[in-house]
Each structure stands twice: as structure tokens, then as C-alpha cells.
């Protein structure tokens, strides 16, 4: 009897164990009743009826990263590319993910590969490197449109690597090198051109400054010479005025006569030094006659000046 009770108790414990199901957080378990969908067990403690009910599918609701293996694709300009990427997906409907497709992750990976080939075929080689972000968005949009019945959503897609053929890589490297050489030559020519412009502008400024300096110097010299001539003329006029006033005073005529005679004699003495030909007065032995001749010349000049 005791053995029977123990057996019944053991069976009850085993049945209770099979009836209790603890679902972890961020997971969804799909429950079937006699092979037909019944409900989705929520996280926490759940009780089911053994044999009649069973957990058919277990799905995680966390976002998953799924590798998309390298695949070949042909661009619009007929270049074969090797492309791989990564998908970030999340199950949003556990029932659709269980009954809409056999393996949702595999299905969405295959869809990503075919969509990638289609999108690459619309672009030329150069644009595939430039339009990565646009390409990623286009692939995500296409996947989500096709996977609406699978209960899975593509959050984003990232291209990890794009590998063109070796010959294309070599051509691209040569193109980049040529472009850099072109830029270097352009920059060098621009620098040389700017240097020549700077030199010519400097020479032009130097010529302008020199001409302005010469102009200023000539103006200053002309002003100085004019002022000097004016001062000399004023001084000469003042001296003449003083001499004329002195002549009109008492004894002025005698002083003039003496001065003229003295200068007359000095002139004859200088003629003997400067030239071999000398014109002498007829009566050179008599100083009085020389003085008389000098005075006669002075009086003639004075008389002619007075007439004017």
C-alpha cells in the first residue's frame, strides 16, 4: 500500500513538473493544443495540460545580428563585386514567425542577398562606394515589404565590405594616383602663377614708388631752384638799389670813378694771364689817361641808361 502511494505521489510530481512552464523575459513560446495553435505564453509562470498541450516554438524577441555571407553581384557597368553584410532583425509577431515561414532568419538572409544583387545592378561601380547609406536603406525597405507575413522585421542592414576584382582595384589605384598627381601639378602651377603675380605686382609697386619719388624730388628741386632764383633776384635788386642810393649821395660819383678805374686795371691784368692777344689803349703809360678812359666808359653807360 505504501509503495502504491509513493508511486502515485511520484506520478503527481512528474505531472506537475510537466504542467509548469516558466518563460524567460523577452521570449515568446507558442503553445499548441492537439497540434493546433492555442496561444502564446507570456514571460513568467505558465501552467499547461500535458499531452494535450505542448510548446511548439520558442522565439526570442531580442534584436539579432545575422551575418549575410559574401555574395557576387554585377553592377550596372558590368563589374562583378563580392559583397558581404550584416542584418539586424527582430521578431515582432511570434505566431507569424512560427507558421508564416519555416526558418525566418534563413528566409530573411536569402531575401537580403537577392535584394542586394538587385540594388547593386541599378548602380555603377563608382556609385556603389558613394551610395552605401542609400543602398542600405533601400535594402531594408525592400526586405520589410516582403517579410510582412513572416513576423520578423529588419531594423537595419550594413554593408561590411565591397570587393571588386583585382584588375579593377589596380585600375582604381592608378586612377587615384593620377588624380593626386593632377592635383599636385595644379597646386604647383597655381603657386607658381601666384608667385609670378606677386613678383610683377611688387615690381609695379616699386616702379610707381620710384616714379612718385622722382616726381616729388623734381618738384622739390624746381621749387628750391625757383626760390633760390627769387632770392638771388631779390638780393640783386636790393644790392642795385643800395648802390644806386649810394651813388646819389655826396662823393658817390668819385667813389664810382675810383671803383671803375680799379676794375679796369684789374681786367687788363687778367687779360694778360688768360690770353696771348691783348688790346691795349694807345696811351698805356699814363695812368691818368687810363682812368679817364674808364670814366668816359662809365659816363657813356650812365648817359645811355639815363636816356632809357
pLDDT at 88: 92
3-state helix, strand, coil in the chain (%, to 5): 60, 20, 15
Identify the pLDDT of residue 16. Answer: 55
Q: What confidence tier does 14 reach under pLDDT thresholds 50, 70, 90?
A: low
Q: What is the CATH number of domain 64-164?
A: 3.30.479.30
Residue 196 has pLDDT above 80, yes or no: yes
| Whole-structure pTM value | 0.50
* Residue 24 DSSP one-character state: P
Within 10 angstroms of residue 90's Cβ, the number of other Cβ atoms is: 13
pLDDT tier at 18, thresholds 50, 70, 90 = low
> For position 21, what pLDDT does the model report?
82
Q: Show me where the domains of the chain are located.
A: 2-60, 64-164, 184-249, 251-308
Of residues 106 and 273, more confidently modeled: 106
- pLDDT higher than threshold 60 for residue 120: yes
Which H helix or E strand runs over 89? strand 80-91
3-state class (DSSP) for residue 286: coil
Length of the chain: 308
208-242 pLDDT per residue, tens: 888 888 888 888 888 888 888 888 888 888 877 77
What does pLDDT average to over the chain? 78
Contact predicate 74/80, CB 8 Å: yes
Q: Which residues contact 256 (CB under 8 A, 6 or more apart)?
A: 247, 298
> From CA 244, how far away is CA 6, in angstroms rounded?
170
pLDDT in tens, 64-78: 998 888 888 888 888
Instruction: Report whether pLDDT(285) > 60.
Output: no
Amino acid at each position: 500500500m505504501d509503495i502504491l502511494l509513493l508511486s502515485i505521489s511520484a506520478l503527481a510530481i512528474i505531472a506537475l513538473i510537466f504542467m509548469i512552464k516558466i518563460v524567460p523575459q523577452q521570449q515568446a513560446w507558442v503553445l499548441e493544443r492537439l497540434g493546433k495553435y492555442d496561444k502564446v505564453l507570456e514571460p513568467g509562470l505558465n501552467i499547461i495540460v500535458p499531452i494535450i498541450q505542448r510548446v511548439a516554438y520558442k522565439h526570442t524577441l531580442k534584436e539579432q545580428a545575422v551575418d549575410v555571407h559574401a555574395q557576387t553581384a554585377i553592377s550596372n557597368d558590368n563589374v562583378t563585386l563580392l559583397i558581404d553584410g550584416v542584418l539586424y532583425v527582430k521578431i515582432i509577431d511570434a505566431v507569424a514567425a512560427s507558421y508564416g515561414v519555416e526558418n525566418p532568419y534563413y528566409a530573411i538572409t536569402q531575401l537580403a542577398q537577392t535584394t542586394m544583387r538587385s540594388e547593386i545592378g541599378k548602380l555603377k561601380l563608382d556609385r556603389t562606394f558613394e551610395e552605401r547609406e542609400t543602398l542600405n536603406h533601400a535594402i531594408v525597405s525592400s526586405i520589410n515589404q516582403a517579410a510582412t507575413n513572416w513576423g520578423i522585421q529588419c531594423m537595419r542592414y550594413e554593408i561590411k565590405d565591397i570587393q571588386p576584382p583585382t584588375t579593377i582595384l589596380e585600375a582604381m589605384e592608378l586612377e587615384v594616383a593620377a588624380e593626386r598627381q593632377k592635383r599636385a601639378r595644379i597646386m604647383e602651377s597655381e603657386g607658381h602663377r601666384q608667385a609670378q603675380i606677386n613678383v610683377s605686382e611688387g615690381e609695379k609697386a616699386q616702379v610707381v614708388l620710384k616714379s612718385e619719388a622722382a616726381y616729388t624730388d623734381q618738384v622739390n628741386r624746381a621749387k628750391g631752384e625757383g626760390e633760390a632764383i627769387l632770392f638771388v633776384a631779390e638780393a640783386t635788386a636790393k644790392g642795385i638799389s643800395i648802390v644806386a642810393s649810394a651813388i646819389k649821395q655826396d662823393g658817390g660819383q668819385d667813389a664810382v670813378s675810383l671803383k671803375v678805374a680799379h676794375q679796369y686795371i684789374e681786367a687788363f691784368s687778367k687779360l694778360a694771364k688768360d690770353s696771348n692777344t691783348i688790346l691795349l689803349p694807345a696811351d698805356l703809360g699814363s695812368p691818368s689817361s687810363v682812368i679817364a678812359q674808364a670814366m668816359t666808359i662809365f659816363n657813356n653807360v650812365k648817359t645811355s641808361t639815363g636816356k632809357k
